[in-house]
Amino acid sequence: MSRVGRNIHVSVDRLRQLAHRDARPRKIKADAGTCPKCDSHYSADEMSRNLRVCPACGHHFAVTARERLEQLGEPGGYVELWPELRAADPLQFTDLKPYAERIADAEKSTGMGEAIVCAELEVRHVPAVAAIMDFSFMGGSMGAVVGEKFARACDHAAQKGLPLIVLSSSGGARMQEGTLALMQMAKTVIALDALAEARVPVVVVLAHPTTGGVWASFASLGDVTYAEPGALIAFSGPRVIEETTREVLPSDFGRAERQLANGQVDAVVDRRELAQRIGRILHILSRPDVDPTAGTAPAGLQWAQGGAQKVKSMMDRIRPGSTDGEDAG
Amino acid sequence: MSRVGRNIHVSVDRLRQLAHRDARPRKIKADAGTCPKCDSHYSADEMSRNLRVCPACGHHFAVTARERLEQLGEPGGYVELWPELRAADPLQFTDLKPYAERIADAEKSTGMGEAIVCAELEVRHVPAVAAIMDFSFMGGSMGAVVGEKFARACDHAAQKGLPLIVLSSSGGARMQEGTLALMQMAKTVIALDALAEARVPVVVVLAHPTTGGVWASFASLGDVTYAEPGALIAFSGPRVIEETTREVLPSDFGRAERQLANGQVDAVVDRRELAQRIGRILHILSRPDVDPTAGTAPAGLQWAQGGAQKVKSMMDRIRPGSTDGEDAG
Amino acid sequence: MSDKKHGGRFVRKVAEKVRRPGSDAPDDDLWESVQLARHAERPYTLDYINRMCSEFEEMHGDRLYGDDAALVAGFGRFHDRPVAFIGQQKGRDTNERTYRNFGMAGPEGYRKAMRVMEIANRLGIPVVTLIDTPGAFPGASAEERGQGGAISRSIQMMWRLDVPTIAVVIGEGSSGGALGLGVADRVLMLENSTYSVISPEGASAILWRDASKARLAAQAFKPTAANCYRWGVVDVVVPEPEGGAHTDHEQSAEILDQYLYRALTDLDAIPSADRRRARRERFRKLGPLRDPESGMGMATGRETPPPG
Amino acid sequence: MSDKKHGGRFVRKVAEKVRRPGSDAPDDDLWESVQLARHAERPYTLDYINRMCSEFEEMHGDRLYGDDAALVAGFGRFHDRPVAFIGQQKGRDTNERTYRNFGMAGPEGYRKAMRVMEIANRLGIPVVTLIDTPGAFPGASAEERGQGGAISRSIQMMWRLDVPTIAVVIGEGSSGGALGLGVADRVLMLENSTYSVISPEGASAILWRDASKARLAAQAFKPTAANCYRWGVVDVVVPEPEGGAHTDHEQSAEILDQYLYRALTDLDAIPSADRRRARRERFRKLGPLRDPESGMGMATGRETPPPG
Ligand SMILES: [Zn+2]
Ligand SMILES: [Zn+2]
């Protein structure tokens, strides 16, 4: 391996330092509020206040799509789009349990209609469309509804000229919809191009896990790609790889930090900084409010009017034989 | 390293077998006719008949640009373009010897005006424009004349709708023309896009050696890229790398066969098959003489006329509920 | 080679399969298709290309990292015109299987495919893909070099091409590794091939938590040509010689040649912008769901008129 | 920040250098420029970006193989508009130098640059490159992953961009590794920077067969801003604070900021197709030669009116 190559930039290391200040391991019976990494325990209220990140060790717990919207947007300030769409059962599929039953169960246990929530919202005062996956709904798997809602979100954002924020958390295509689920990969990739034509950016946030057909479709096509710490990002999961190739994988295989070194993501961003980071990049990429040619030059400079002759005239000022004009500005 | 990855396809291995039939090592005093690899000796006439390839071991000797034209084209059948262009000496450059003197010497010893020859020719009955470098003229280095002739060759090919054949053999930019030689990299890369706009292909043949600014500009941008066996293909040569990084390089570092495994070339082609291979790919890529929609269908099929309805009607033939038409064809 | 000779018999046979609703098909037929789709003697990508093209020149390498023998790509002379052929390539004996990595392409394969597509698009040459893979290569190195992004970008590139495109599922079309070559103006599928979100064995291990339930999984996925046609996933089912493609490579290639030539001639007549619009609509429509706003059930598949 | 404050003095000083024919310049001045161009305290790419942008977000990775710290690329907010900044990055202490690989980018660096350029072009965001490198990384692994093709494609991409582009040589601009970021609508060059086909040490070893003749080589190559301006290689020489950019990073960035803003505002006013045509012509004209058909000597450089 060359000296060039796989240097690592974890952009939010300083949050690791914060961790120790607020640390307080409390050993009690493990439940949903227990950190699987350091055994700290939190009340539901504490968890929510910490954006479901363990302040002691930085472990990122799973977050539902609606919680994500609250974390990213202004308080209470989002409009959900197409919540009414529901999965069909085109294959009349049954594995250990009929698909129809699985869907009904998921709807009951999560209170969601599907594994993705789309919404219009503002992130740090920047209006955007968000498409947010929810792992708690059948492993965030992508069937026809996820594909359709994602595609509609692309169209909607393009029509309104708004950037798209994608948050992925998925085991891949929804197998219970068979070949038709596979086709959602094509559908979502094609839909993304509406944003390219509208010249608005796509920010993708890869949450744990982003695997299979979701990583191999829209989730790997962001203009800017952030990943949450520790998120598994892979097309084939570690178990499949180990079984197929008999490789022994490192414990951090496919994890966000490693995928950063592999050149697959732009930054690993702690959830507590996520909204701020998304807001910042969207602000940077936004078009200027004022036409840059129409008089925003700093005081003391007279280059606000005129056009193609400017650099030439600037060049003239330092050209051999030309002595005038150097003090004009 | 994965099992996928660096599989090697040397496409002309069978020529190695030919070698042994015609082999005849003859140990005499080494001169220009002596093979540096196996010490076989050949007369000038034998060398020329063998396209300057050692029949005993397959070693590829250097070839001048004009010899190349004879090897590639129909006998005597090429028209040289812009032979009159000559190098200037913009920096009044002197190293161990003045640049002007080096140029004059090169012209005298090679009988060439510069390190590239451009011509219109036919390769196996396919008309094309060729830009062929000559290592014997100042190491095939690229200065303003090479850049300009190459750019004109691109324009000429594009205007005539002919494919471009590039044969590179160069140590890189011509240092004696300083920063202006560096700029020829940009000039040649930009010029190549004329062919993209004209929708004609570019076939690049990498001969020994293709290094530095020539590899890092037009030589790495062919649509189809062949390399001669054993050709060194690299941006930085092995000596520079060993001195800079203290790496110990394998003996075949940067050689054609290895660069094939690295995904950098399409095939390693023995010189004795080169004209045939170029002719073949140009023939394959050429537009059909007959409009494919205008009646070239094999007898017995009635799909020569009509348009968008065809696949649909074909589909209809095997659609559920449709029983007619299956025997129509 | 005449349509009279093969067309009638084969087409009638296929039409009967298609007519039969999937759920009524006996297990045996379905499992037979799955087995035939990966029969060791079934013609592979190069078997078709070499028979259909008068000349073929294979391209190698992605210009980035390496050359992937699990995916072949190049330019062929097909009915006296240039056509880019791209497909996964399986091997027949142990050595060749290893060399071809069982037809499981890594990122270098998809990137070689994209390189050839870009050239084809620029030169105005149609692209034909032949799909035959148990899936993209599941290996750590493939993941580290961006397997996911390679597939998604291959899908994106196929959708963006201005030239006519045809995808043919010739054997086993499993998972994103298959779809990476599957976004085309026309999608054809050989009679005994399969096209599925996952291999039956993979599904068996995941959904039934039991690797031995592959047959059950296949029955649940129903990934046959007839069903894919019914779902609207493929446009044309290409007949195979009696007994399956493996019984007669020559005849199999002849039939595919006819279907490809017909589809190409058809696509030639459609302006590029219309083709791309139809390509987009084709994939956009796939996947039935329940939309209460527009009444129940978003119609796709062959209940409604086929696309195009 | 006012032009009055810096502009007059600096511009006059630069103009004097430019006026002096290169061959008359005393050795000392030229060697001093070469030394200043790589002064350890000279501002590097991120020193400029962080001062010129109100906000900057660095992008990482080529999505293919890795992330190259020798080349930084990202989006900044510059005078209340988005601008893509891309440049080689050197390090100041030993650790950072190693981390940044001495500003010698590998293929991953140029491919990251291209990725960011593609996004900028699609979103209509101008591209500014900052050139500061002893050359592209000379390593076996870089060659095996296509160093040559990475540089040529970066050149090709810069030429193809529809958005306004500005390249600035801020320090050492040596070899194809520099030119890989150098094809732009406007090429600026800091007063004490160098732009050359090879480093003086490299030239010394090759042409004089003696590594100690770097000073002689520099004298032969004359790679100063004044000479590059005279040759037509750069359009604008950007003045540095008295004593060189390393004496005052703030002031250096302020001056560059002014020049960039001016050039950007200028380029905004030119239609994209015209800009691209001029970009092509600009590089097409470079390189004097003798053409007997058109009389002797193909004119380039500042003997004739400057381009644009
Ligand atoms: Zn914890
Ligand atoms: Zn020999």
Residues 110-129 of D with CB under 8 A from B: none
Asked if A118 reaches chain C (Cβ–Cβ under 8 Å), the answer is: no
Report the residue of chain D nearest B92, measured CA to CA: D220
Ligand nearest to the CA of B25: 2
Residues 148-167 of C with CB under 8 A from A: 148-149, 151-153, 155-156, 159-160
Asked if B148 reaches chain D (Cβ–Cβ under 8 Å), the answer is: yes
Same domain, B191 and B169: yes
Q: pTM, whole model, 2 decimals? A: 0.89
CB contact under 8 A, C65 and D64: yes
Q: What is the Cα–Cα distance from B46 to B25, expressed in whole angstroms?
A: 14
Give, as one character, the DSSP assignment of residue B211.
Answer: E
**Going from the N-terminus, what domains does chain D have, and what CATH number goes with each?**
2-284 (3.90.226.10)
Same domain, B192 and B206: yes
For residue D200, which phi and psi values (nearest 5 degrees)? -55, -40
Report the residue of chain B nearest D156, measured CA to CA: B189
Same domain, A47 and A128: no
Residues 263-302 of C with CB under 8 A from B: 263-266, 268-270, 302
Residue C307 has pLDDT above 50, yes or no: no
Structure tokens at D129: 């490159």
Ligand nearest to the CA of B26: 2
Q: How far is the CA of D85 from the centre of ligand 2 (A)?
A: 53
Range of the domain at A57: 31-61
Structure tokens at B34: 């002596």
Q: How far is the CA of B61 from the centre of ligand 2 (A)?
A: 9
Q: What is the Cα–Cα distance from A311 to A303, expressed in whole angstroms?
A: 10
Distance from CA of A242 to the nearest CA of C (A): 8
Same domain, B44 and B104: no
Per-residue pLDDT, averaged over A216-229, amounts to: 98
Same domain, A57 and A100: no
Out of B4, B220, B262, name the one closest to residue C139 (CB): B4
Distance from CA of B78 to the nearest CA of D (A): 21
Q: What is the 3-state secondary structure (H, E, C) of A119-148?
A: EEEEECCEEEEEEEECCCCHHHCECHHHHH
What is the residue type of B94?
Answer: T
Same domain, B77 and B128: yes
Q: What is the pLDDT of residue D195?
A: 98
Q: How confident is the model at residue A24 (pLDDT cuts 50, 70, 90)?
A: low
Out of B199, B308, B319, name the one closest to residue C269 (CB): B308
Q: What is the pLDDT of residue B116?
A: 98
Q: What is the Cα–Cα distance from C243 to C10, expressed in whole angstroms?
A: 11
Structure tokens at C134: 């148990």
Q: What is the Cα–Cα distance from A205 to A266, expressed in whole angstroms?
A: 10
CB contact under 8 A, C145 and D64: yes
Out of B5, B11, B315, name the one closest to residue C235 (CB): B315
Q: How far is the CA of B35 from the centre of ligand 2 (A)?
A: 5
Residue B326 lies in a domain: no
CB contact under 8 A, C14 and B281: no
> What's the mean pLDDT when you consider all of chain C?
90
The 10 Å Cβ neighbour count of residue C42 is 25
Distance from CA of D58 to the nearest CA of C (A): 20
Structure tokens at C179: 């779809």
Of the residues B40, B61, B82, the one at which a domain ends? B61
Residue B21 lies in a domain: no
Structure tokens at B251: 């003996």
Q: What is the Cα–Cα distance from C54 to D202, expressed in whole angstroms?
A: 51
Same domain, B51 and B189: no
Ligand nearest to the CA of B39: 2
Q: What is the Cα–Cα distance from A234 to B121, expressed in whole angstroms?
A: 51
Dihedral (C-alpha) D35, D37, D41, D43: value to the nearest 10 degrees? 170
Residue B16 lies in a domain: no
What is the residue type of A158?
Answer: A
Terminal CA-CA length for chain C: 28
Same domain, B151 and B51: no
Q: With CA atoms as reference, report the closest residue to B233 among D144, C207, C134.
A: D144
Collect all residues of chain A within an 8 Å Cβ-Cβ radius of residue B3. Answer: 245
- pLDDT per residue over D236-281, tens digit each? 999 999 999 999 999 999 999 999 999 999 999 999 999 999 999 9
- Cα angle C240, C246, C250; round to 5: 70
Q: How far is the CA of B208 from the centre of ligand 2 (A)?
A: 16
Q: What is the pLDDT of residue B320?
A: 37
Q: With CA atoms as reference, report the closest residue to A209 among A236, A183, A243, A232.
A: A232
Collect all residues of chain A within an 8 Å Cβ-Cβ radius of residue D126. Answer: none
Distances (CA, A) of B17 to B25, B260, B314, C97, D244: 16, 21, 50, 26, 65
Asked if D232 reaches chain C (Cβ–Cβ under 8 Å), the answer is: no
Q: Which of A66-75, C127-136, C254-263, C292-301 shows the lowest mean pLDDT across its residues?
A: C292-301
Q: How far is the CA of B46 from the centre of ligand 2 (A)?
A: 13
Q: Which residues of chain B have pLDDT under 70?
A: 1-30, 289-329
Question: Which chains contact B through at least 3 pairs of Cβ atoms less than 8 Å apart?
Answer: A, C, D
Distance from CA of B259 to the nearest CA of C (A): 9
What is the residue type of D195?
Answer: Y
Per-residue pLDDT, averaged over A98-125, amounts to: 97
CATH number of the domain at B191, please. 3.90.226.10
Interface test with C, best of A116, A236, A246 (most C CBs within 10 A): A236
Out of A4, A287, A303, name the one closest to residue D101 (CB): A4
Q: Contact at 8 Å (CB) between D137 and A4? A: yes
Same domain, B270 and B313: yes
Ligand 2 ion: residues within 5 Å (CB): B 35, 37-38, 40, 54, 56-57, 59
Interface test with B, best of D179, D196, D215 (most B CBs within 10 A): D179
CB contact under 8 A, D137 and A4: yes
Collect all residues of chain C within an 8 Å Cβ-Cβ radius of residue D142. Answer: none
Residue A329 lies in a domain: no
Q: What is the pLDDT of residue C133?
A: 98
Q: Contact at 8 Å (CB) between A164 and A191? A: no
Q: How confident is the model at residue A16 (pLDDT cuts 50, 70, 90)?
A: very low
Q: How far is CA B169 from the centre of its chain?
A: 9
| List of residues 6+ apart from C186 with CB closer than 8 A | B311, C165, C166, C167, C235, C236, C263, C266, C267, C308
Per-residue pLDDT, averaged over C163-189, amounts to: 98
Q: What is the pLDDT of residue B154?
A: 98
**Domains: count for chain A:** 2
Tally C-beta pairs within 8 A across A and C: 201
Residue A173 lies in a domain: yes
One digit per residue, the tens of pLDDT, for chain D of length 308 reads: 444 444 455 556 666 666 555 444 556 778 888 999 999 999 999 999 999 999 999 999 999 999 999 999 999 999 999 999 999 999 999 999 999 999 999 999 999 999 999 999 999 999 999 999 999 999 999 999 999 999 999 999 999 999 999 999 999 999 999 999 999 999 999 999 999 999 999 999 889 988 889 999 999 999 999 999 999 999 999 999 999 999 999 999 999 999 999 999 999 999 999 999 999 999 999 999 999 887 655 545 554 333 33
What is the residue type of B44?
Answer: A
Helix ranges restricted to H, D59-136: 94-99, 107-123
Q: How confident is the model at residue A77 (pLDDT cuts 50, 70, 90)?
A: confident
Q: How confident is the model at residue A292 (pLDDT cuts 50, 70, 90)?
A: very low
3-class secondary structure, B62? coil
Out of C136, C155, C207, name the one closest to residue A95 (CB): C207
Asked if D96 reaches chain B (Cβ–Cβ under 8 Å), the answer is: no
Of the residues B46, B61, B76, the one at which a domain ends? B61
Q: With CA atoms as reference, report the closest residue to A217 among A190, A179, A197, A199.
A: A190
Report the residue of chain C nearest D111, measured CA to CA: C64
Q: How far is the CA of B21 from the centre of ligand 2 (A)?
A: 13
Residue B140 lies in a domain: yes
CB contact under 8 A, D288 and B249: no
CB contact under 8 A, A92 and C231: no
| List of residues 6+ apart from D50 with CB closer than 8 A | D56
Q: What is the Cα–Cα distance from D85 to D58, expressed in whole angstroms?
A: 9
Most confident of A3-17, A212-226, C193-207: A212-226
CB contact under 8 A, D141 and A1: yes
Question: Which chains contact D through at least 3 pairs of Cβ atoms less than 8 Å apart?
Answer: A, B, C
Asked if C76 reaches chain B (Cβ–Cβ under 8 Å), the answer is: yes
Q: Contact at 8 Å (CB) between B169 and B137? A: no
Q: How far is the CA of B227 from the centre of ligand 2 (A)?
A: 19
Report the residue of chain C nearest B201, measured CA to CA: C123
CB contact under 8 A, A281 and D75: yes
Same domain, B70 and B118: yes
Q: How confident is the model at residue A312 (pLDDT cuts 50, 70, 90)?
A: very low
Q: What is the pLDDT of residue B13?
A: 42
Burial degree of C23 (CB within 10 A; 0-12, 13-18, 19+): exposed
Same domain, B54 and B151: no
Interface test with D, best of C60, C64, C154 (most D CBs within 10 A): C64
Out of B220, B285, B322, name the one closest to residue C82 (CB): B285
Burial degree of D255 (CB within 10 A; 0-12, 13-18, 19+): buried
Residue A26 lies in a domain: no
Q: With CA atoms as reference, report the closest residue to A69 among A28, A6, A122, A109.
A: A122
The 10 Å Cβ neighbour count of residue B239 is 12
Q: What is the pLDDT of residue D307?
A: 35
Residue A16 lies in a domain: no
Same domain, B123 and B170: yes
- pLDDT per residue over C216-258, tens digit each? 999 999 999 999 999 999 999 999 999 999 999 999 999 999 9
Residues 150-189 of A with CB under 8 A from C: 151, 173, 175, 177-187, 189
| List of residues 6+ apart from A45 with CB closer than 8 A | none
Residue identified by tokens 């009340």 is: A43
